Chains A and B, each alone.
Chain A
Amino acid sequence: MNWFTKTFSSTIGRKVIMSITGLFLCSFLVIHLIGNFQLFKDDGGLAFNVYSEFMGHNPIIRTLEIVLLLGFVFHIYDAFVLTRRNKTARPVEYANTRPSENSTWSSRNMGLLGTVILVFLIIHLYNFFWRARFGDIPADADGVENLYMVVVESFQQWWYVLLYVVAMAALAFHLIHGFQSAFQTLGLTHKKYTPFIQAFGYAFSVLICLGFAIMPLYFFFFF
């Protein structure tokens, strides 16, 4: 192995990949949330449909889509490799262990939370992304594919709304640990800035996930 592959297959190198891709995926969440806020516009979904049409056809967005996919792939792959390594690092478990005395629940269950998010992601992509890109969706009043209707109809089903709310709760806990943890892994700690990063990360995690969770609840209860 040369130095490059050696670096990024070391435990620290893989963690650095986890942190960079994790923060990149956080930036995606911001864009995704801001765009989706158009669902609340009182125009029967016309603006949202134009926006989703743009997201599906703009060449820059389509290129970034591939970068985004790679971000997910590396994040999930390294999580898988590291989790497997971590399991083999302790072949015999303790008979009695009290981890809650020394660490938070979310910091110890990033893999579990990530798996919940992955399952959600697959269902979410199938329902919206897949149908928007490859499905046959009828046009709205302006002749644009009416993805808005798909959203409204999806969120009439209680189990679908529940899935979204549970997944967003999992994402919130994943981010509460993950956001500040990424900075620690990148070595970006400082007496002046670390308290801000931790507070910002907490607020970011809660607000972003709350923003996403409001959408299915809004359409379930007010439509």
Chain B
Amino acid sequence: MAGSNPNAKPMDLTLKVWRQKDRNSPGQMVTYPLKGISPDMSFLEMLDVLNEDLLRKGEEPIAFDHDCREGICGMCSLFINGRAHGPERGTTTCQLHMRHFSHGETITIEPWRAAAFPVHKDLIVDRSAFDRIQQAGGYVSVNTGGVPDANEIPIPKSIADKAFDAATCIGCGACVAACKNASAMLFVSAKVSQLAMLPQGKTERKTRAENMVAQMDIEGFGACTNTGACAAECPVGISLENIAMLNREYMGAKLTSENVAS
């Protein structure tokens, strides 16, 4: 395989994994010894190996979320050795490789912990709270009709770049997992500022900020303490500037919108 290191020695590991039958059952950490793991494997491939072992023994495999395994879909999660998406910065769990761990190491693997992200099973959490926040305003309403010409609306390059940086949020929930308050501010701020910066999004900016923050609070996420843990652990590097912008958008909307009822 291209890029693999033939000299890399296989590793023996001890895994401590959160196992939980379903949402209503209590869970616990279970220890699994694992032998002969290649440093070239990704973290999820290592879990695949363990699951095949478990299947052969007739045990229930460990449930974990994954999809593209290319670091762009936001499906994978896992709180590895006390860090969201593991010890490497700017990396999703699927792009984390076993060479960052050492032979004989004990690795703890836990699901995202938040009241708003209840555990479905083992390491899988229900992140539909994020979907409901998006549905509350994380979109641009477009009238039907002819397709407008590309570049018809002038947007400065610097603004387009900032909006794009915010739009790289993959909604994985690492920000919530890393935050001591389980706050979703970085996620919501990325979604709000991405659209608030662009002309197409400006028409609905007030209702968007009001409704998305209201939904965020309803879902039971914590408040922001500006610790910066979210941005430090974000696999795509969403900046804290977005949270400052959300604060501006929200207070500006609350103080000037026509909505007096709520």
Contact = CB atoms under 8 A, between A and B. Distances in A.
A102 B228 contact: yes
A191 B92 CA distance: 29
B82 A89 contact: no
Given A1-B262, A107-B228, A189-B244, A102 B115 contact: no
A9 B13 CA distance: 48
Contacts of B246: 12, 187
Interface residues of A, number: 42
By Cβ-Cβ distance, the 9 closest A-B pairs, closest first, are A187-B248, A89-B222, A98-B82, A102-B232, A86-B181, A103-B227, A11-B223, A86-B222, A89-B182
A43 interface: no
B223 A82 contact: yes
A6 B251 CA distance: 12
Given A10-B213, A99-B180, A102-B233, A91 B245 contact: no
Interface in A80-117: 82, 85-86, 88-99, 101-104, 107-108, 110
Interface of A: 1-3, 6-7, 10-16, 82, 85-86, 88-99, 101-104, 107-108, 110, 177, 181, 184-189
A103 B223 CA distance: 16
Given A7-B254, A11-B216, A104-B227, 13 more contacts: A6-B254, A12-B247, A13-B251, A86-B181, A86-B182, A90-B180, A95-B29, A98-B82, A99-B229, A102-B228, A102-B229, A185-B226, A185-B247
B226 A12 contact: no
Contacts of B259: 3
Contact of A16 (B87, B241, B247): B247
A80 to B, nearest CB: 12
Given A16-B247, A89-B116, A185-B247, A10 B217 contact: yes
A85 B82 contact: no
Contacts of B110: 94-96
B225 A110 contact: yes
Nearest to B116: A89
Contacts of B226: 107, 177, 181, 184-185
B220 interface: yes
Contacts of B79: 94, 96-97
A10 B214 contact: yes
B254 A13 contact: yes
Contact of B262 (A3, A94, A107, A181): A3
Contacts of B182: 86, 89-90
B220 A88 contact: yes
Contacts of A1: 262
A98 B79 CA distance: 10
A107 B232 CA distance: 14
A85 B222 contact: yes
17 contacts: A6-B262, A11-B221, A12-B223, A12-B246, A85-B223, A88-B220, A89-B181, A90-B182, A94-B79, A95-B18, A97-B79, A98-B81, A99-B180, A102-B232, A184-B247, A185-B226, A189-B244
Contact of A95 (B87, B108, B232, B240): B108
Contact of B260 (A3, A91, A95, A185): A3
Interface string B208-244: 0000011011001111111111001100000011011
Nearest to B257: A3
Interface centre among B29, B214, B241, B254 (most CB of A within 10 A): B254
B178 interface: yes
B103 to A, nearest CB: 20
A102 B179 CA distance: 9
B178 A102 contact: yes
Nearest to A90: B182
B261 interface: yes
A108 B178 CA distance: 12
Given A89-B116, A99-B180, A94 B82 contact: yes
A70 to B, nearest CB: 20
B221 A187 contact: no
Contact of A89 (B115, B233, B248): B115
A85 B225 CA distance: 12
Contacts of A92: 113
Interface in B189-206: none
B66 interface: no
Contacts of A16: 247, 251
B217 A11 contact: yes
A216 B157 CA distance: 57
